[in-house]
A and B are shown apart, each in its own frame.
Chain A
Amino acid sequence: MSNPIIIEDIRPLIALIAPWFGLIGIMMAGEKRANLRELITFSAASVQVAVVLSMLPLVLGGSIIEFHIWQIFSYVPMLLRVDGPGLLFALVASILWIATTLYSIGYMRGLHEHAQTRFYSFFALSLSATMGVAFSANLLTIYFFYEMLSVSTFPLVTHMQDKEARTGGRTYLGYLLFTSLCLLLPALSWCYIWLDGGHMTMDFLADTGKIGHFSETTQIVLLFLFTYGFAKAGLMPFHSWLPGAMVAPTPVSALLHAVAVVKVGVFCVYRVYADIYGTEVLSKISGEEWAMILASATILISSLIALSQDNLKRRLAFSTIGQLGYIILGAAIATDRGQGGAVLHIAMHACGKITLFFCAGAIFVATGKKYVSQLRGLGRRMPITMGAFMIGSLSVIGLPPLGGFISKWYLALGALDREAMWVVAVLLISSLLNVFYLLPVAVTAFFRSEDSEEGEEPIKEAPWPCVVPLAFTALGCFVLFFWSDALLKLAGVTP
């Protein structure tokens, strides 16, 4: 895509605003007309998916869609731009929003949760912010939507409104706002004041590599500020908010903390590495090596921590931290295939991990069990759920014919391109660790008999709105493997 055709179109804005209309409808419908409320969420999500899908042919055809919303500063517009990686991310997030909505109906009603209207409202808001991040065309725009996401997910994280929720919410906001206001904001103003004589746009397309005008030290300091400033990416040591946020209801953990929020973090980091620094500048300051080391450390340490977690959701949370590390690693590898692999991993991991979270929630709804050690023999009682869990695990581990394989493949290829053998080693070791902490869950469920005295219990799955989405996303893991051409093209890698 050397000279993309730029099309002015309002569609990115519609994808952004659809959840807002959903929000108004959800609030008007309220707790008393629950079915109407869920229907509105569905329609908003469907509109969003339809709009995002309608942009797919254009972007695949090599065009770029832009929409100018507002002039933030006289020299920085709030500009939406749909390019390959952005569209890929938006597509994943919006399709999984539909799945999650169906799932939430089963989960929230199954558990007779309170304040469902609030739950669906803020869910819609978060999705709007996610679309904003996916479609942002410059650093300040992305920052605006990033902050919007932090605030709009707070009521979701503290949904239970109890002591645990308070602790989780405090950790969540404390980490996210501290990093974004104290690390990111200075870095942003630094760039905006001093680059281009104070008239910098920090555009992802036009200004790639301009950060190279700074001295090397400055570039490295800024790189760290950006990497840690987007703490939603969960890079250690700013990762603790993610396990803390697991107090939220499972649909929130599923969509926000396996797909939207954390992926927003890594997507921002990806934008910084790939579109602000650019491959050349990044390798000149050898900042990418630092980032690769940090990401690898995160991958390995979090995988080791995950091994020791008995709470299923916490185990998945640490697994997520590790998988986010892959994406940062890929972005930092600074080769085309590596960065493409990073973008692909956003989609692949999202599909796999959301399946796992859905399963964890379905188990909780059906049996009230939260711990891995309690899952003995569950495979016979909940075959679909545990089957999906198996598929999700295998995809996250990265085995063919599942989506997770493709992204790991390209990450490895990217690492080979720059002859960083140790990265390949990290990938292999961590895949092995993935096997150790994910497979035992499914294995315990299928191959260990239940130790209850009543003998075999009959098949008792969670309510169907819970089961359908998790089967859907499990199938998605296959689909992503067999129909990955479009995704590869969006991610900008040539097979």
Chain B
Amino acid sequence: MENAIAWIFIFPLFGSVFVALSRYVNIKLAYPISVLSMAGALWAGVETLQQAMASPNHEISYLLGGWTLDLYPRGVGIEFRADLLASMIALIVLGVGLLVTVYSKIHVEKETPNKEAIYYSLMLLQITGLAGICLTGDAFNLYVLIEVAALTGYGLIAMGSNRAAAATYNYLILGTIGASLYLLGVGYLYIKTGTLNMVGIREVIEANGLADSATMQVAFVLIGVGILIKMAFFPFHAWLPNAYCNAPTTTSCLLAPLVTKVMIYVMIRMVLSVFGVEFSFESTIWVSCMPWLVVIAIVCAAFLALSQREIKRMLAYLIVAEVGYMVGGVWIYNYYGLIGSIFHIISDACMTLCLFLGAGIILHKCKTTHFDGLRGLFSRMPLTMIGFFIGGFSIIGLPPTCGFFSKWYLITGGMVSGRWEYMVVLMFSTMVMVVLFFRLIERIHLAVDESGKDLGKGHGDLGLTKEQTRFDEAPLVMLVPLLVSAATVLIIGVYNQDVVNQIETFLQAYDLPKGVEYK
């Protein structure tokens, strides 16, 4: 399929139109149409990745609508470029999208009655936007797609509980500030280089030696800060926990694994492909200060996560900490750090998905995700809990889950570039994750309440009625996506070298330090 990359957008885009129209025919059609269009998009994503791997320079360029790039440097046009990084992240976006769509059936009917059509329509548009962010080759189109994703995101979040509106407003303000800063930066870039095409911008920077230009520095800072706000990097994280906790369950399942990770992809794209390695790392002070900001970010996020007593909130702060990991991986300016960062985008998307799907099931069955309501969940829903904890073990970084491997590369990167502060903070947050997840296991497993009072009559009696501990597994539409995502966490771990090889092929084009022989 030569046009696979276009089909990635055609499926969900037109799917969303049909879903929106379906309410006039039969609202029951909304779910199957969404699932089918996502399945189609996923197929196109796989096809794109294969094409990118097969092509000689490991990327495919697709000019939408036949807009040419003949004008120097690379004119104005709608170019979609799928190199290995872009197509891998896009594939993850589509895979997560499909799983969440399958999962959403019961939640959407229950939480947003009579609005299914609109909900699914927005969801498909959201995925279109996110996949577009990954694949676009144009800095301005990127802005448009960020806004597509953000606006649909506001809609999806606002459909949640009563407090969702306020959370959405908060998100809207911060998100808009971030996007505006980004747009401003792109404006500066256009003034200076006369092009909006990503490759074109870099070619001009290199050809004209713009590295020292103050305009470029300003553009870099504007774009960088804009992206940091959008990815909820501490201290710009304020919008995230409320937005994800008050949103409908499926919204948080979709947004949590994807939005922040895709924005990190954008950062990597900007740093490597648009501004270029030399400009980003050598001509700016970000390399020297960002790792320290990351340290602050991870420590604060870890403490915030520790102080939560509700699974979803805890996970939201975990995401903020994980964002710190990935940002750090980029700014320690090192080959291994970047491998770790990119690998972590992929693995973190899978494990966060796993955890949020699990939290959704817990919410569905127990009506609460507060820590106090977890006792005895293992005997009730063993499979769900196994899936949930595979995600948890991956976040901790226990082998052979994929979380171990991303952490391995990040630690390696920190060591090779001599950024010990980053390495130490990784260790620290790993221990925090251990506390977070084994505390959950304790809450589920032990007959002790938080203050240490024994409940029940001893001998493993959890002080629950028979009904509360009877086997009562989640419905299949929810269980299967959870188990698939848990299996993905393990499979990516087992086949980590296949993923890393692609990342390495991608990074070969860039001149990154690999560290020195150490004695």
**Interface residues, chain A, with chain B CB atoms under 8 Å away:** 70-74, 112-115, 143-144, 147-148, 151, 154-155, 158-163, 165-166, 169-170, 173-174, 177-178, 181-182, 185-186, 189-190, 192-194, 197-198, 213-215, 218
Contact = CB atoms under 8 A, between A and B. Distances in A.
B519 A214 contact: yes
Given A159-B460, A193-B515, A215-B519, 8 more contacts: A158-B445, A161-B448, A162-B454, A163-B453, A163-B454, A181-B397, A181-B431, A198-B515
10 contacts: A72-B400, A74-B497, A74-B501, A158-B446, A159-B460, A162-B454, A178-B431, A193-B416, A197-B517, A198-B515
A14 to B, nearest CB: 20
A74 B399 CA distance: 16
Given A178-B431, A193-B515, A166 B442 contact: yes
B495 to A, nearest CB: 9
Given A166-B452, A173-B438, A71 B497 contact: yes
A150 B517 CA distance: 34
A162 B448 contact: yes
Contact of A163 (B412, B415, B448, B496): B448
Contacts of B438: 154, 170, 173
Interface string B384-397: 00000000010011
B441 interface: yes
A7 B347 CA distance: 37
Contact of A115 (B396, B416, B442, B460): B460
Contacts of B18: none
A70 B434 contact: no
Contacts of B518: 193-194, 214
Chain A binding site: helix, strand, loop or mixed by DSSP?
helix
Given A70-B494, A166-B442, A182 B427 contact: yes
A194 B411 CA distance: 13
A190 B454 contact: no
A151 B411 CA distance: 22
Contacts of B472: none
A182 B411 CA distance: 11
A114 B460 contact: yes
A61 to B, nearest CB: 34
Contacts of B458: 160, 162
Contact of A161 (B415, B416, B460): B460
B310 to A, nearest CB: 21
A213 B412 contact: no
Nearest to B460: A114
Interface string B417-456: 0000001000100110010001001100111100011100
Contacts of A170: 438, 442
B431 A177 contact: yes
Given A114-B461, A193-B515, A194-B518, A161 B431 contact: no
Nearest to B407: A185
B398 interface: yes
B445 A155 contact: yes
A163 B517 contact: no
Interface of B: 336, 393, 396-400, 408, 411-412, 415-416, 423, 427, 430-431, 434, 438, 441-442, 445-448, 452-454, 458-462, 494, 496-497, 500-501, 515, 517-519
- List 7 A-B pairs, minimum CB-CB distance, nearest first: A114-B460, A194-B518, A182-B427, A114-B459, A144-B399, A161-B460, A161-B446
Contact of A190 (B415, B434, B448, B460): B415
Contacts of A113: 459
A182 B500 CA distance: 24
A344 to B, nearest CB: 31
Contacts of B501: 74
A193 B415 contact: yes
A186 B423 contact: yes
B330 to A, nearest CB: 19
Contacts of B400: 72, 144
A151 B416 CA distance: 30
Nearest to B397: A181
Contacts of B445: 155, 158, 161
A295 to B, nearest CB: 26
Contact of B452 (A74, A143, A161, A163): A163
Contacts of A151: 393, 398
Contacts of A154: 438, 441
Select the residue from B397, B431, B434, B445 with max chain A CB neighbours within 10 A.
B445
A75 B412 CA distance: 15
Contacts of B431: 177-178, 181-182
Contacts of B430: 181-182
Contacts of B460: 114-115, 159-161
A213 B519 contact: yes
A213 B411 CA distance: 21
Nearest to A113: B459
B412 A166 contact: no
A165 B447 CA distance: 10
A186 B426 CA distance: 11
A190 B411 CA distance: 9
A157 to B, nearest CB: 11
A343 B448 CA distance: 41
Contacts of A173: 434, 438
Contacts of A73: 496-497
A181 to B, nearest CB: 5
A162 B517 contact: no
B517 A194 contact: yes
Contact of A186 (B427, B442, B446, B500): B427
Contacts of B393: 151
Contact of A189 (B408, B497, B519): B408
Contacts of B396: 177, 181
Contacts of A174: 434
Contacts of B453: 163
B223 to A, nearest CB: 32
Contacts of B494: 70
Nearest to B518: A194
A260 to B, nearest CB: 19
A251 B436 CA distance: 29
Select the residue from A73, A112, A189, A197 with max chain B CB neighbours within 10 A.
A189
Contacts of B434: 173-174, 177-178, 181
A113 B460 CA distance: 9
A37 to B, nearest CB: 17
A189 B415 CA distance: 9
B446 A162 contact: yes
A162 B447 contact: yes
B376 to A, nearest CB: 10
A220 to B, nearest CB: 14
Contacts of A160: 458-460
Contacts of A178: 431, 434
A213 B518 CA distance: 9
Contact of B446 (A143, A144, A165): A165
Contacts of A193: 336, 412, 415-416, 515, 518
A144 B496 CA distance: 15
B262 to A, nearest CB: 27
B403 to A, nearest CB: 12
Contacts of A155: 445
Contacts of A166: 442, 446, 448, 452
A142 to B, nearest CB: 11
A495 B411 CA distance: 46
Nearest to B453: A163
A163 B452 CA distance: 6
